[in-house]
Amino acid sequence: MYVLGVETSCDETSVSVTKDGKEVLSNVVLSQIDIHKEYGGVVPEIASREHIKGITYVFDQAMKDAKIEYKDLDLIAVTQGPGLIGSLLIGVNAAKVISLNYHIPIIGVHHITGHIYASNIEHDFEFPLIALVVSGGHTELILMKEHFSFEKLGETQDDAVGEAYDKVARVLGLPYPGGPVVDRLAKQGVEEYQFPRPMIDSDDFNFSFSGLKSHVINLNHNMQQRNEEVHVENFCRSFQEAVTDVLVAKTIKAKDHYQVKQIVVAGGVAANSGLRQKMKERITDIPVYFPSMKYCTDNAAMISVAGYYKYQKEQKYDDFMLNGSGRLDINEGE
Amino acid sequence: MSKQLIIDTATKYIYLSLVVDNKEVESVYQQGDNNHSVTIIPLLDELLQKANLSLQELDEVIVGIGPGSYTGVRIGVTVAKMIGYLNQIRVRTISSLALIASASDQRYVIPYVDARRGNAFVTCLKQENNMLSFVTEESLENLEQYLKQFDFEYELIEEGKPNVKKILASNLLEDVGDIHELKPNYLRITEAERNKNGN
C-alpha cells in the first residue's frame, strides 16, 4: 500500500511517500527555519505564505524521489491538526485536490500520532508501550495498548518543554530555536546551579515547566543586577539536567505502573542529546527508542506511516469536508 | 472544446465556475462563514459531476489572486496551483477586485474587500464597450478617505457574481509562467516584516 503523506502544520512544508507503513520511499522537507529565525520564533502569516510558495515544488520532488506516479497511490494522509491553522489549510486543501483529481481516498492525521509513529519506521512497536511526546507545543505521556490507540496519562499543566527551552534561550541571548543551542552548550558546562524539579514526586503523570522557567529567568536577572557573571554553559547544563530529570522520572513511573514493553520518545525535543543519554542510562530493562534525527522534527513520512496504521485500524476514510483544526485532541485523531 | 475552471475565494463569497466553449455551464457563488477551506472541494466536486467533467479534462484554470482575505485567497490559489501542477495545464490569474467589478454595469466601478477598522482593499475600474480596465492601482486604504478623490459618478461594490463573458474578454488575465511560482497578491508584506523594517 502506497501512502502519500502531507505535513504543513507549522514551519516545514513536507511531502513523503511510504510503502506498507514501513518503507520510506521519499521524505522531502522544505524548512522555513532560516526565515523565522530573524523574528525569534515562527510568524504564522509568514509561515502560511511560505507554504503556498513551496507546496507544488515539494510535492513534485517527493514524487520524483519515490519514482511513483500519483495515480498509483492508494491513500493520502494529511496532518489535520493541531498546529497553525493558516498553515494546516494549505496542506489539507492541496491533499484534497489530489484526492479529487485521482479519486484516491484521503485520511486526516493528528500531528502527534505522526510523531509517535516516527519511531515505528525504524523499530516495530511492541505493546503495551509508553510514548513520551516532547516538542515546542507538547509534553505528554501516552499509553498505547495496541496500534492506533492512545490513552493520555498526563501532560504539562503550563509550558511545553520545547517552549521552556526557547524562552530560557531567549533570556540568555541565544538564537532561535533555543533547544538545540541550549543542548549544545549544556554539553560544555557542569551543573553549577541547583534548579527545581517541578512535580517530580507528584502523584500523577503531569508536568509543569513554567515555575522552572521563571526560576531560571529570575536567577539570571538577579545575577545581572548584582553584576555577577552568568556562566552560560553551566546555566544551560543546570537547566537541562532539571528538565531531563523530570521527564525521565515520570516516564519511569509510567513504565513501572503500566508494565510496558517499550518506551518511544517522540517530537522535536527527542533530538535532545541530554534526554537521549539520560533515558538510556536510567532505563535498562526495556528498549527505549528515539527516532533518528530526520524523523524527530516535523516531516511527512511520520504522517504517512501514521495514516497507514490509522486506516488499518479503522478501515474508513474521510470525506471532502475534512478540514484543518488548530486545536485537536489526540483521541479525535484516533 | 475548451474547458475552463474559474476560482475565487478572496472575499466572503466563494466563486466557482465551469466554462465550456466560453459559456458558463455550471457555477456557484455563495456566502461562506470563514469556511471556504471546508466547502471548496465538495462544491467543486458537485460542479464537476453536474457538468459531467473531471479535473483531468480541464484545459485551463483562472484564479482570483486577491487582494483580499489572506487566509481566504490562499485556499483558492492552493487549489488552482495544485490543479495546474497535477494536470500540467495553463493557469491564469486575475485580480479578485476586477472579478467583483465585472458584476457591475456602471461606467466607473469601485470594488472593495473589507480589511477591518475602516480599511479596504480597493481600486477603481472603468468599462467601455464591456471592456474592463483599471483606472487606479489596487491598494489598501481608508475607504472613506479614498473615495473623496473621485469627482465622477461610480458604483461602490463589495460583492456580486462575476460576469464570465466580461472577464474572458478582458485583458486583465495574466499567464502564470512557471506554476511553482504562483502565489497570491497580498498587496502588503506581513506586520512582522513591517515591524522589522521599522515602518
- Give the pLDDT band (50/70/90) at residue A329: confident
Q: Across the interface, which of B86, B183, B193 has its CB nearest the CB of A101?
A: B86
pLDDT at A333: 46
CB distance B2 to B22 below 8 Å: yes
Question: What is the torsional sign of CA B34, B35, B37, B42?
Answer: negative
* Pair A87, A152 in one domain: no
Percent of chain A at pLDDT > 90 equals 91
pLDDT of amino acid A332:
57
Residue A334: pLDDT band (50, 70, 90) is very low
A&B contacts, CB < 8 Å = 94
Same domain, A59 and A162: no
Identify whether B184 is preceded by a cis peptide bond (ω within 30 of 0): no
Residue A159 — very low, low, confident or very high, per pLDDT cuts 50/70/90?
very high
Statement to judge: residues A187 and A131 lie in one domain: yes
Cα distance between residue A257 and residue A130, in whole Å: 11
Q: Which pLDDT belongs to residue B199?
A: 54
Task: Please state the domain extents for chain B.
Answer: 3-187
| CB nearest to B83's CB, from A38, A97, A324 | A97
Quote the mean pLDDT of chain B: 96
d(CA A87, CA B158): 27
Per-residue pLDDT tens digits for B158-188: 999 999 999 999 999 999 999 999 999 999 9
If asked whether residues A89 and A182 sit together in one domain, one would say no
Q: Quote the number of domains for chain A.
A: 2
A207 in reach of chain B (CB within 8 A)? no
Q: Is A65 helix (H, G, I), strand (E, B) or coil?
A: helix
Q: Are residues A168 and A312 in the same domain?
A: no
Q: What letter represents residue B157's amino acid?
A: I
Domain CATH for A238: 3.30.420.40
Q: What is the mean pLDDT of residues A130-153?
A: 95
Residues A158 and A263 in one domain: yes
pLDDT range class, residue B197, cuts 50, 70, 90: confident
Per CB-CB distance under 8 Å, the chain A contacts of B81 are 52, 55-56, 94
3-state SS, one letter per residue, for B128-196: ECCEEEECCCCEEEEHHHHHCCCCCCCEEECCCCCCHHHHHHCCCCEECCCHHHCCCCCCCCCHHHHHH
User: For position A258, what pLDDT does the model report?
Assistant: 98
> Residue A177 has what pLDDT?
86
Q: How far apart are the first and last CA of chain B?
A: 51
Quick check: bond before A198 cis, omega within 30?
no
> In terms of domains, do A101 and A131 share one?
no
Average pLDDT on A159-175 reads: 92
- For A180, the domain range is 126-286
3 state SS of A152: strand
Rounded Cα–Cα distance for residues B71 and A88 (Å): 11
Among A2, A42, A7, which Cα is nearest to A28's? A7
Write down the residue that cell numbers 495515480 correspond to: A71
Same domain, A97 and A203: no
Q: How far apart are alpha carbons B109 and B89 in whole angstroms?
A: 32
- Taking residues A309-319, report their average pLDDT: 97
Task: Say whether domain B3-187 belongs to CATH 3.40.50.300.
Answer: no
Q: Which helix (H) or strand (E) holds A169?
A: helix A161-171
What mean pLDDT, rounded, does chain A reach? 95
% chain A with pLDDT above 70: 99
- Cβ(B106)–Cβ(B150) below 8 Å: no
Q: How far is A79 from chain B (nearest CA, A)?
A: 14
A93 touches B at CB < 8 Å = yes
A 10 A CB-CB count for A124 gives: 10
In a domain, A140, yes or no: yes
The predicted pLDDT at position A30 comes to 97
A247 and A318: one domain?
no
Grid coordinates belonging to A127:
505493546
Instruction: Summarize pLDDT for B63-122 with one digit per residue, the tens.
Output: 999 999 999 999 999 999 999 999 999 999 999 999 999 999 999 999 999 999 999 999
> Which among A70, A97, A323 has the least Cβ separation from residue B79?
A97
Residues of B in contact with A92 (CB under 8 A): 37
Interface list for A 233-292 with B (CB within 8 A): none
Same domain, A96 and A165: no
Same domain, A282 and A306: no
CB contacts, 8 Å: B179 with chain A: 56
Q: Which residues of B touch A85 (CB under 8 A)?
A: 71
pLDDT for A221 beyond 80: yes
pLDDT at A326 over 50: yes
Which residues, listed in sequence order, are joined to residue A30 by a DSSP beta bridge? A13
- Identify whether residues A197 and A281 lie together within a single domain: yes
A residues 15..74 contacting B (CB < 8 A): 38-39, 43, 45-46, 48-49, 52-53, 55-57, 59-60, 70
